[in-house]
Structure formats: C-alpha cells, structure tokens
Amino acid sequence: MDLRKLVKKGDTSLIHPLFEVLLKYKATPESSRKVIVLPRKYDIAVWLGIWDAAWERYKHGKGLDIDSLSFKKGQKLLVNNVVCEFVSINHSAGRIKLSVRHPKKRRVNHIIPLNKIFRLYPVKNEASLTIATTLINDPESNEKLILDENIPIHTALIGSMKSFKEAWGKLKHLDLASCARLDRDGNIVDIDVCSKQMLNNLVVSSDIHRFYSYLNSDNPLPNHLIIDGSRHLLDDRSQFEDLVFEKGIPVTVLVEHSESKNVNFFRDLGFKIVMDKRWIDELRLPESGKFEYINRMFEISREIQIEPVVFENENLSRAFETLHRDAIHLGEKVNDLRSEAAMYLYFMALSITPTVYFSERLSEIRRILSLDKSLNELTLALELLENEEYRHRQENEKIRYLKNLLLTYRTDKIGIVVKNNQEFLKCEEYWKEFFQAKGLKKVEIVTPKLLMSGDRYYDRLFVSGYLGLEDMHRLIALYSCKDLTILLWDHEMKTYFWTFYQIIQRNFSVFSGRIVWKKIEQLTEKIPTTEELKGTLQLEPEKIEFRYFQGRYFKKYLTSDKNLAENAFLIEFEDGYRAFFTQTYPLYKVIDEGDDLEDYFFKEIEASVLKKGDKIIFVKSCPDKIKEIVDDYFKKNNNLDLRGMAILWQTALRIKFEEKNRNLDELFKLLKQHGLKRTKVTVSNWLKKEMIGPAQLDDIDIIAQATKYPPLLSKIKEVKEAIVKLKSAHIQASYILANQVLTEIKKCYGESAVALESGTTTGMYQYLVVKRVSKLLKNVRKSCVNKILEIKDGVETWHG
C-alpha cells in the first residue's frame, strides 16, 4: 500500500508511515475483529479513518469501467475540480459534454476527451456551478479518481469530532474522501455547510450511541468500523454485540498502553490483539514532519529509565510505621485522628517547597492523644511529625537535591511533577525566583493531569515523590519522557515504590522490556506475596485521603432522625467539590464534547452508576426559576389559590410566634405539648425559610391544634392536598428546568465553540468530573443531600 499515490508528487507531509502499517493490520472480512495496541492514541484513529476511506475510494475508482459511466442529464458533477452539469457522453468517441458557467456568458457547453479527466464524481444538486473557462487543468494527484453514484460507505469512525475536524481541515483540499457525520439521532449530516459532496464514503460519530441509532434505521452498512479507545465498547457491550457483531461489520479498535487492563475484555469477545511489538520493526520513522509527536512517542516507548533517589528521614519513617500499624482496638475516634495524621504525613512527604503545613492541627491531635497514656506511641508519632513539619519550613533534602539536578541539566527541557493543583500553585510561587536567578527557562512545573493534555515532551522528569499507584502508572504510560527521576523518602521507597515496582512487573506485560529500573538494588525487601501486596495497597495515599474525608463528612452531616434523613453516598469531584447523592438522583453525563451544537450529547443517569472519570452536568435547583414555572402552569389552569392554601400551616405558625413575642422556646414548648417530635432547629427553619410544607404531613395536624388558627383548622385536608400537588409540580418543574439548562448549554457553547469546562460554575449548573465514589450508604441530613459542597481555603459552601 502506497498512500503517496493519492496526493500530489512530493506532497507527502501528511502521510506518516504509521498509517500505512496500521492499514495493513486493520480488520478485514476474513479477520473481522482486531485490537491494535499503541503506546498512545493521540489523534491516530482519526487519521487512520481518513486514510482508510481515501484508499478504499481510490480502489473503487480504479475498478470502475469508464465505458459504463453515465449520469442523468442535468446531474451536477465535479470534473477536474470544476462544478458543472452533465449533458451527454459518447463512449465510442471517448468524449463527454458538460455545461459550464462562463465568466461572460450564463452557460457554455464544453466537450472534452475522457483521457483529459483526472477527477470526476457526482455532487449535490444544490452545489453552485464554478465559474470557469476550461475544464482541462493540472491534476492534483498522481492517480485518476473517477466515481459513479454507487460508491459504498466504506469507513465508519467513532472518535473525537474535534480531532477529526483538525485533521480533516489539513486534508480536505486534497479531496481524498467524502465525509459526513452522524447527528444525535444517527442521521447523516454534512461535516460543514459548504460541503459539495454527495457520495459519502466516510461517516464520523463522536460516540457509539449515534452509530447504534444509524444501524437501527436500516442504513447502508459500512465495510469497516474504526473505534478510538475502549470506552465506547465498555459503556454498552450488549448493544455492540447485537448491532455490530450480528451484522458482521469488521471492527478495528485502537487502544493505548494505559488501557491495557481492558485487553482481556476484548480477547473474551473474540478480538485478535495486535501488540505494537509485533509491527514496530516495520515502522520507519521520518526524521521530521507534522507528526513529530508520533515519532517522539515511539522513541520514548522503546526504553524508559526510572531512577529512584532515596533520602533517609528517621522522623517520617518512625511516624509512618506507627500511624499505619494495625490498631482497630483503639476505637473509632482515635483511628480517625490517626488517619488524619497519616494524610498530613503523606502531603508533607510530597512537598518540595519550604512551607508551614498543619502545625496547629498536628498539635491539637497530639494534645488529644496525650490525654490517654495508653496512646503514648501515637503521641510520639505526632511529636515526630511536628518536629519534621518545623524542619520542613527550611529547605529539605529533596529541595536541595532538586536544585542541584536542575543546574546539572540546565540545557535540558525539564518537567517537575507534583501531585495536584494545590502543590502546583505552591511550587510555581516558590521556584519562580530560583528559575529566574539561575536562567532556567526550560523548566516547567506540571501535574499528571497537565501531562495528559496535549503532547508535552521533556528530556527529563523529576517527580516530587510517590504520587499514588494510578498517577505513577500514568507517568510511564504517557510516554512524555525517557528519564524519570523519583525523589523518595526512605519510607516511600520501602513501602510505596516497592509495591509499585512489583505491580508493574507482575501485571503490566505491555511495559516488559521497555523499562530500565536504575538503582533498583536499593530495594532490599523480600518479594511480597499477593496477600501482602493487597495489604500494602490499602495504604495507598488516595485511599487514606478518601477514607479520612469519608469519615469526616459522614460524621459531620449524618443524623439519627430518620424523618430528617436521606440514604445517600459520598462522591468526590475534581477541584475540591463533594456531594451526597441519593442512588436514584438524576444527573446528566456528558457523552461527548464537541465544537458544534449537535456534538453535545447528554445522557440522563442515576447517581448510583457514576464512576471515576465521568463528566457530568449538575443542574442546580434554582428555587425562583422552579417556582416561576410552577406558577405559570397553575395560572394557565386557573389554580392560582393552590399556593395560598398550601402556606396556611406556615402562616399559622408565624402568627403564633408573634403572639409569643417571638420567643422560639415558648413556641417550641407549645408544639411539644401537642405531640411534636421535631427539634427546635426544625421549628426555626419552618419560621425562617420559604418551604412548601413540612417533611411529615402529620405535623400539620399538630400545628393546627397548637396554633388554633381557624383557616388552617377548617381546611387541614385541603392544605395537605395542596402541599402534595405543589411538591409534585416542583419535581416536574425541576425536570423542565433541567431540559432548558441543557438546551441553553448546547446553544451557548455550540455557537461560540467554547469548551464546556470554561463554564464550570454558573448560576444554573456545574460541570464536574468524578474523582472518587464511596459505596457506603448512610443517613445524611436531607438539607445536605443532592447538593454540591465546595471546599475552598477551608470554607465550605453548598451549591444547588
């Protein structure tokens, strides 16, 4: 296969040798299920889809008998890049008559020899005729392209629409393929409004669900399906088997090393796995060009050197050992304090800035523990942490070593990898002066999340410490650098890094032979058993952190009063957001994020199915908006007095409150005498807040008897019915509002082509990315359920 045949002589800058290699290994009718494993995918699936369609269209044209070519009179054609109308064809004379729009005349007929045509195919009848004086001009490719109206849809591509448009924008002037996309209903629509193409041999969908809709509508089946990544299949395996496998469509899936854990899933479905090691020797990388990121990816993936640099620290080691010793018998409160101190130790160990950490809180924990003489060991561990915290206010060993490294490799492009945005901001502020003073212009502070965006490459990466198993794995699988130096305290090395090393060696064969572990002889520990590895994984920093936050927030917002509680679980989002959700609470998962209105696709899901990495839209309750929708509805149905009826219970309560000289204690005492089982805080909320009705409708009977308010006493039944109707209407209005918000999102961001994330927090919705999900269901206060909690600089704010 030689893709150069499809473009002008010498114009091969958009052809990377990788594309030809992958086309060789793609799925075929004989071998219809293939998974091709790449170090990273980038936008390679998009380019593969375009070149696949281009090559197949070229082959179709080569097999076409020009003597059988004919069209209806008046059919618009693109002939040698000129849009004209078909008049007639004389095969025996080898000539074709075409109607062309002339600059000075409305129409002129041209008769040209068939052997002078290098490009001919039908276009839409809405296409405007090209103003031209001749149809004989220089060919744009090495080969002729002549097509009839029977070209099939050869390639279907499931991948990023944004990446596709970027690639297609560089290629469409070459007229290699005719492309269309699928809308949300699976209908074929133009890639752009200026498209003249009629014969679409490549259809693109931003998600697999649109493709399922396309298949369900009895549309022509594509000859080949290319899927970018494993997530599309993992979302809905049964539909894929029913709609794709049953129809016999050959499928090629591109996955990257970071997805290697899903390879067995594909193998179970009968896919043939084509590892990159199988074909890498066939790949001859060009010296330079538009695909430098592909070249760098393969160069780096051949060999990565990982070097741990270990610093002794007796304070941290002894504190770590004590805080992580099994001590269930100590009691829940003590274990919570111990978990909190362990979390502080982890962040202290990661820091590469001289910073005051948690001195006041550490002192407080130590003071509490010191009250119990049996907790002397834990108290001592806290003293060690306090001493270390004080020592870290100056440059620690990691900082001094890192400064020397930066000066040693001052001509290299270097990335300093820190755990999260908080550490990123602290490091940018601290290291800025050093970088400027030493003239270090090629050094960047980055997080694992930042490394995932784009195609960042470095000569060296210096990692501030053990970032957690997932982030450490990601640092390798991103293939951003050949040399990784990881700065570790000795407890990080003996516990975390040793476990990380063993897991990579045992479970990720995709890295076999690619990683050179330098100075690994420092790992003198015995090889752990599987059970020991599982135990160590429970010490993973992110698990410690989440267990701490889970315990802290559950305790803070739990209630023993079942009437005031909802059964909810905790979810942590990126950027400091958390929430308690009931299992069936509706959220809107972002299936795709494109640049156009039609490329936004939201799927309503229940909160219980959320998993790490999911992107969701949380529509806020917006009481004023909901009330407006409800009141408009009742106004149209001549039922405006419903809200006035429903509020009688609160009116009665407020009148009695005034009669008691605004003495809450007296009012509460009166209600208790009549059988009220709620708290004083609840009664206070009834007085202050605007609400439809109390959570328990039976409380209205008590309020009526206690207040003796005649309008309420005479219409208790009607008040309860009004409250039930209003609550139901408000629930329905919340769905109406949600649809209005989603429509507005599509309109706003589709028209302006602004990324959805830039509107993360607005008055109507929040865009959130799931970080961790707890499976524990607890009785959480209703007032804190199905809302978003933002924690910023220690201040907690509820949204929604």
**C-beta of residue 595 within 8 angstroms of C-beta of residue 162:** yes
SS3 of 230, please?
coil
> How many contiguous H segments (helices) and E segments (strands) does the chain have?
29, 29
pLDDT at 434: 95
Place of tokens 């050179």: 516
Report which of 471, 51, 598, 505 is spatially closest to residue 291, judged by C-alpha positions.
Answer: 51
Distance CA 759, CA 779 (A): 32
Place of tokens 């304070």: 315
Retrieve residue 406's tokens: 């930066």
pLDDT at 753: 32
**C-beta of residue 111 within 8 angstroms of C-beta of residue 132:** no
Strand blocks (E) in 80-209: 82-90, 95-100, 108-113, 119-122, 145-146, 155-158, 179-182, 188-190, 202-205
**C-beta of residue 301 within 8 angstroms of C-beta of residue 294:** no
User: pTM of this prediction?
Assistant: 0.75
Domain limits, the chain: 3-62+150-299, 66-146, 303-557, 625-731
* Strand partners for 460: 414
Distance CA 506, CA 502 (A): 6
**C-beta of residue 154 within 8 angstroms of C-beta of residue 201:** yes
Q: Tell me the CATH class for 3-62+150-299.
A: alpha beta
pLDDT at 524: 55
**C-beta of residue 514 within 8 angstroms of C-beta of residue 303:** yes
pLDDT at 287: 77
In what order do the strands lie in the sheet containing 251-256? 188-190, 179-182, 202-205, 155-158, 224-228, 251-256, 33-38, 272-274
SS3 of 679, please?
coil
357 phi, psi to nearest 5 deg: -95, -100
Measured in whole angstroms, the distance separating CA 567 from the mean position of its chain's CA atoms is: 28
SS3 of 671, please?
helix
pLDDT at 758: 44
* Strand partners for 34: 252, 272
Retrieve residue 749's tokens: 């961001």
Strand blocks (E) in 257-295: 272-274
Contacts 24+ apart (CB under 8 A), 670-676: 670/706, 671/702, 671/703, 671/706, 673/706, 674/702, 674/705, 674/706, 675/702, 676/702, 676/706
Other CB atoms within 10 Å distance of the CB of residue 600 = 23
**C-beta of residue 385 within 8 angstroms of C-beta of residue 348:** yes
Report how far apart, in Å, the C-alpha atoms of 63 and of each of 114, 512, 760 are: 16, 45, 53
Q: Looking at residue 548, what DSSP letter applies?
A: H
Distance CA 211, CA 355 (A): 53
**C-beta of residue 293 within 8 angstroms of C-beta of residue 543:** no
Mean pLDDT by runs of 10 across the 800 residues of the chain is 74 87 94 94 94 87 74 87 90 90 86 85 83 78 68 87 88 80 85 60 87 87 93 79 88 91 87 90 82 91 92 92 70 80 88 80 84 84 87 89 95 94 90 94 92 84 93 90 94 86 84 84 61 70 76 78 82 86 86 49 82 83 76 77 86 91 91 88 86 87 91 90 86 77 63 42 74 86 85 67
Distance CA 712, CA 207 (A): 56
Q: Looking at residue 380, what DSSP letter applies?
A: H
pLDDT at 149: 66
**C-beta of residue 97 within 8 angstroms of C-beta of residue 82:** no
Dihedral sign of CA atoms 380, 382, 384, 387 in order: negative
Residue type, 129: L
Strand blocks (E) in 32-184: 33-38, 76-79, 82-90, 95-100, 108-113, 119-122, 145-146, 155-158, 179-182
